């Protein structure tokens, strides 16, 4: 099973970016997507951006992850 998480691009340097997820900063390769900009949401999988997302799609996915986490901790 593969899992990717929605993250927000906070800075770009060449084909790499710093991305934010839950307050943590990760590195992401931008080699597989086009026209990435600071502020864009992407799906991050194994250190690579695999798809751009709308802010609405990213927020909905993050909300679902939070619901799953909350149900596991009850």
Residues 6+ apart with CB under 8 A from 38: 9, 10, 11, 12
Q: How far apart are CA 29 and CA 48, in angstroms?
A: 4
- What's the angle, vertex CA 41, arms to CA 35 and CA 1, rounded to 5? 110
- List the domains of the chain with CATH numbers: 5-72 (2.30.30.140)
The predicted pLDDT at position 22 comes to 84
At 46, give phi and psi (nearest 5°).
50, 40
Q: What is the pLDDT of residues 16-25, one digit of tens each?
A: 999 999 889 9
| Percentage of residues of the chain with pLDDT beyond 70 | 99
Is the whole-model pTM more than 0.75?
yes
The predicted pLDDT at position 74 comes to 79
E strand residue ranges, the chain: 5-13, 16-21, 24-29, 41-45, 48-53
Q: What is the pLDDT of residues 9-56, one digit of tens each?
A: 999 999 999 999 988 999 999 999 999 999 999 999 999 999 999 999
């Amino acid at each position: 099973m593969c899992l990717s998480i929605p993250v927000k691009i906070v800075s770009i340097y060449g084909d790499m970016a710093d991305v934010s997820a839950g307050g943590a900063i990760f590195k992401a390769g931008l080699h597989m997507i086009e026209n990435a900009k600071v502020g864009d949401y992407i799906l991050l999988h194994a250190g690579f951006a695999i798809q751009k997302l709308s802010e609405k799609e990213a927020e909905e996915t993050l909300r679902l992850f939070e619901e799953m986490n909350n149900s596991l901790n009850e």
